[in-house]
Amino acid sequence: MVVAMVVAMVVKRFLFSDPVLIGHLLPAPCTLLEPDLYFILTINYVPCGYILGTRDYFIFFEKCVKKWFPEFCERYPHPEKDEDSLEANFIRYLHQRHIVEEGFGRLPCLFYISTFY
């Protein structure tokens, strides 16, 4: 959850009224569902980014569909139809039915790096 908080610090000023909203898409589920595969990058003990991973994206995604997205959808109700903000569209995206596209082949893991600079 620390990663979601770090992302929130950066996002709060720029995009969304809810500073932890964007962290619900990737950082938070990774930190909760595969906690041994996330790392916080620091420079002089100050957070400057993070690295996330999953061993098997297909299994991870199934866990998200069963455990993560339902909780998210309960926390963030569908926005009004005429609401056209970036935040509203982001919430709509997370409410839609998610599917995993075939094509990962023999490399089904996910590896994600984000820096704040």
Reduce the secondary structure of the chain to three states and give it as a string: CHHHHHHHHHHHCCCCCCCCCHHHCCHHHHHHHCHHHEEEEEECCEEEEEEEEECCHHHHHHHHHHHHHHHHHHHCCCCCCCCCCHHHHHHHHHHCCCCCCCCCCCCCCEEEEEECC
Q: Which amino acid is at 96?
A: Q
**pLDDT tens for residues 43-100?**
999 988 889 888 888 888 888 888 888 888 888 899 999 998 888 888 888 888 766 6
Section 23-52 average pLDDT: 86
Tally of domains within the chain:
1
**What CATH number corresponds to the domain at position 79?**
3.40.630.30
When comparing pLDDT for 42 and 66, which is higher? Answer: 42
Q: What is the pLDDT of residue 91?
A: 87
Q: What is the pLDDT of residue 106?
A: 60
Section 14-24 average pLDDT: 75
What percent of the chain is modeled with pLDDT above 90? Answer: 10
What is the average pLDDT score of the chain?
A: 78
What residue numbers bound the domain in which 85 lies?
Answer: 2-115
Rounded Cα distance, 96 and 69, in Å: 10
pLDDT confidence bin for 1, thresholds 50/70/90:
very low
